Amino acid sequence: MTLEAGLVSNFRDPEMGKYAQDINGEVFKVNPSLLARILCRSPRLPLRPDRWLLANSSVRKKALDLLPNGYDCVVTRSQYHSAHLIGLHLKKRFPELPWIACFSDPWSNSDHQKNVPLFSAYSRNLEKKVLANANQLVFPTEGLMLHMTNNDKNLRQKSSIVPHGYDPRLYHDSDELTKKIPANGTTEYCWRIFGSFYGNRQPDILIKALQLINIPKGKKVRIEIYGTAHEKYTELDQFNTKYNDREILYMGQTPHKNALRLMQNSDLLIVVDSTELEQSFYLPSKIIDYFGSGTPVLSICRAGTVENITIANGHHVANIDDTQSISIAMEKAIEREKSQRTRKKAITEYDAHAIGSKFRKIIQSNHQ
């Protein structure tokens, strides 16, 4: 069950909506009241944990209509954290029904949410209730689990680590991929970034690093960014007019399946991680999509989860606090492209079948 398309984002992806329906089961979409829809579209509302809290009464009503149909388990997942308040309500109504709460990001003390007096304190109290009442807690990384359970032994005992995954069926066969060759004979390297910049995750470091790199004569580097718009993108035209051998283009948003095709048809995929923590515990879902594509990956990050899994899977990292480190990593990427490019094998550890198997075991353990 999810909110009606277009409520959380203006961008719609009908293909993935059909994909979800075809997996196994049914997708129920909730359309809250007109007032709730209008308020949920207001990004400056200071509500905590998030403004989609205003749609919860409609979601609760739909969930209560469905539960008599014989469901064995309730699963809530965030972002957005207000979804877990539905699970908390249902757990109070049906205490015997197992509830699994899954988190992809911190709830309180997040780098992309300002502290709002009263609202944030209220939200922290709700977080404690969710963590205490769920039968099982699921996190994508150990670091996030440690952050949210905060040395509470009881919470740790009911916590599991299940990373994000990718579905290999959504990617294209390699023989379906074609690459455009510039007519002027210049060798052009296409590097791509998928995802949005927000909070302390900013595109500035990327622009500074690209200014520093030495690009061999007859070569050109093009960086394409796909995701929601950012105020810094207005400066890209000015940057691009300064150079003939490098450019950064904002490409807007694109449907997920097309994004996967573009990932496969790139020379390099770039991740820019958060700078909130000295030891980052974030696991961006896009890096898992990158691993599934078989394209080389450059992770611009601090020590922590992203650095560890990037190196462990044979890809490349650069220090997000060191522009020189990033530019050197970019130059090495160009050097590697001089030899014949070999695609990496998709990393099966994050295959949807492997991830689904882990999650199924968690569900089964709550029915023993």
Average the pLDDT over 288-308 and give the result.
93
What are 101-111's pLDDT values in tens digits?
Answer: 999 988 887 76
17-21, 96-100, 343-347: lowest mean pLDDT where? 343-347
Domains of the chain, each with CATH number or no CATH: 2-165+352-365 (3.40.50.2000), 169-348 (3.40.50.2000)
Q: What is the CA radius of gyration of the chain?
A: 22
Helix H or strand E encompassing 308: helix 305-312
> What is 46-96 written as a DSSP string?
--SS-GGGGGHHHHHHHHHHHGGGT---EEEEESSTTHHHHHHHHHHH-TT
- pLDDT of 345 reads 65
Q: What is the pLDDT of residues 46-85, one digit of tens each?
A: 778 888 888 889 999 999 998 877 788 999 998 889 999 9
Per-residue confidence (pLDDT) for residue 204, from 0 to 100: 87
In the predicted model, what is the mean pLDDT of residues 348-352? Answer: 87
CA pair distance 127, 48, nearest whole angstrom = 11
pLDDT at 90 over 90: yes
| pLDDT grade for 33, boundaries at 50, 70 and 90 | confident
What's the confidence (pLDDT) of residue 160? 96
Asked if pLDDT for residue 119 goes beyond 70, the answer is: yes
What's the average model confidence in pLDDT over 347-352?
A: 85
CA angle in degrees (0–180, nearest 5) for 98-122-74: 15
Q: Which two tokens stand for residue 35?
A: 């007032």
What percent of the chain is predicted at pLDDT more than 70? 90
